[in-house]
């Protein structure tokens, strides 16, 4: 099915993009997005050495994480508040938080588990109406308000770029997210991560400073 070749190809591209940007490859984490694939296929990816996996549905996260322990699971999808009770116990990082009411519930669940939940704030950099995420101009007040949650650790920003034929045309989205991170890092030193870059655009995301890539299709294509 070519899973090993796909993974090797993706890593090679990451390495080359990192080199172009004078970055250390070790600073870039690959999250394999398994939303389209079976537990068996995800297990093969574990055997091939992948350590971080992402799901965008709470139910699927729960199922796969129970079937595949010993690796780190990431929640990357739209958050429904009533599903947070399943997301918190099963996520190393929640990538897609952008409402205070979500943080209220995450904090409560994390507190019950005596866990510090790592969270990324989803930012709608491109400004598309259909996209989730907080607007850049609202970040400042959001961060101020978010400081009160004792069991939440905000570790950076996440964004989804628009899907385009030529990813060069959305380079500015990734650059903007990095600039926002740099801007707020002074007051919030824990904001280090940039979760950006998918199958179509990860090389450009690496060049612009991504520390976490969320890649599905490029890894699992041609498989089951």
Contacting residues toward ligand PLP, per CB under 6 A:
33, 35, 56, 76-77, 160, 198-200, 214-218
Q: How far is the CB of 111 from ligand PLP (least distance, A)?
A: 26
Interior angle at CA 204, CA 92 and CA 41, nearest 5: 45
Q: 72-75 and 93-97: which strand pairing?
A: parallel
HEC string for 23-37: CCHHHCEEEEECCCC
Report the residue number, 120 or 151, with the smaller CB distance to ligand PLP. 120
Report the residue number, 155 or 160, with the smaller CB distance to ligand PLP. 160
CA atoms within 13 A on the CB side of 190: 11
Q: How many residues in the chain?
A: 224
Decide if 79 contacts 38 (C-beta within 8 A).
Answer: no
Q: How far is the CB of 37 from ligand PLP (least distance, A)?
A: 10
Q: How far is the CB of 100 from ligand PLP (least distance, A)?
A: 21
Closest-approach residue to ligand PLP (CB): 216
Chain position carrying tokens 């904090």: 107
Whether the CA torsion 180, 183, 184, 188 is positive or negative: it is positive
Q: How far is the CB of 199 from ligand PLP (least distance, A)?
A: 3
Q: How far is the CB of 147 from ligand PLP (least distance, A)?
A: 26
Q: How far is the CB of 115 from ligand PLP (least distance, A)?
A: 23
Report the residue number, 77 or 136, with the smaller CB distance to ligand PLP. 77
Report the residue number, 167 or 216, with the smaller CB distance to ligand PLP. 216
Report the residue number, 148 or 221, with the smaller CB distance to ligand PLP. 221
Could you give the CA distance from residue 23 to residue 14 in angstroms, rounded to a whole number? 10
Report the residue number, 56 or 91, with the smaller CB distance to ligand PLP. 56
Hey, which bits of 103-185 come out as E strands?
A: 117-122, 152-158
Q: At what angle do helices 100-112 and 139-146 cross, to 10 degrees?
A: 20
């Amino acid at each position: 099915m070519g899973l090993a070749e796909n993974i090797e190809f993706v890593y090679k591209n990451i390495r080359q993009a990192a080199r172009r940007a004078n970055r250390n490859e070790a600073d870039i984490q690959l999250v394999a997005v398994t939303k389209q694939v079976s537990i068996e296929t995800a297990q093969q990816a574990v055997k091939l050495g992948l350590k971080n996996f992402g799901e965008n549905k709470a139910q699927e996260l729960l199922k796969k994480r129970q079937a595949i322990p010993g690796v780190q699971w990431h929640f990357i999808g739209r958050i429904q508040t009533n599903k947070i009770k399943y997301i918190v116990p099963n996520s190393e990082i929640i990538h897609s938080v952008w409402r205070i009411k979500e943080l209220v519930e995450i904090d409560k669940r994390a507190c019950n588990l005596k866990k510090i939940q790592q969270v990324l704030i989803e930012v709608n950099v491109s400004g598309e109406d259909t996209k989730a995420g907080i607007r850049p101009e609202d970040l400042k007040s959001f961060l101020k308000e978010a400081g009160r949650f004792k069991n939440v650790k905000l570790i950076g920003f996440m964004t989804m770029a628009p899907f385009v034929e030529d990813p060069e045309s959305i380079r500015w989205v990734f650059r903007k997210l990095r600039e926002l991170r740099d801007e707020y890092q002074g007051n919030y030193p824990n904001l280090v991560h940039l979760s950006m870059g998918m199958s179509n655009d990860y090389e450009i995301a690496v060049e612009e400073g991504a520390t976490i890539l969320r890649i599905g299709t490029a890894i699992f294509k041609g498989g089951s």
